[in-house]
Structure 1
Amino acid sequence: MNGVGRQSVNYKAVYKQETLSVAMVIFLYDLAENLFQELQEHFQALTATLNLRKMGNRIEDLQKNVNDLMVQAGIENSIKEQMLKT
């Protein structure tokens, strides 16, 4: 055998490189999964905060409308008088 066309392959080096590649893929997958989970938690918290603000704004609008209706109906003073008597 004259060795023409044959190349020496270092199987240990190839195996080590493949093992490192698999480990890197697993590491990156776990990292991406954790990042996605954190983003999802932050998004849910932000959504809850925005919903609370929206609800607060609606309650304030409702209170204003009720007050306006009470003034129009002329009952605002009688309610204030009742509250002062109690």
Structure 2
Amino acid sequence: MKKIVVTVIGADRVGIVAQVARDLADTNINILDISQTIQDGIFSMVLICDMEKASVSLKEFQDKMAQEGKKMGVDARVQLADLFYAMHRI
């Protein structure tokens, strides 16, 4: 399994979850876990995904999500799960 972490943060609006899920499905990336919240109008979402069978490389998907994030007015980032966990270890 090749796990990635997708984070999305920005002003809340309709369709953010739908667009991210569509982008994942279009590239054959499976959502394993998802958490999202809205606090004082700020939307945040973290997805743990498996890109073992993805139709794109990690770099291609990172670029795609950065572009889609700009279109939606949010910050969308993608990292390998191992790197994400290592960066956030105390």
- TM band (smaller chain): under 0.3
- TM normalised by structure 2 equals 0.20
Bigger fraction of residues in strand: 2
Larger radius of gyration: 1
- TM normalised by structure 1 equals 0.21
Bigger fraction of residues in helix: 1
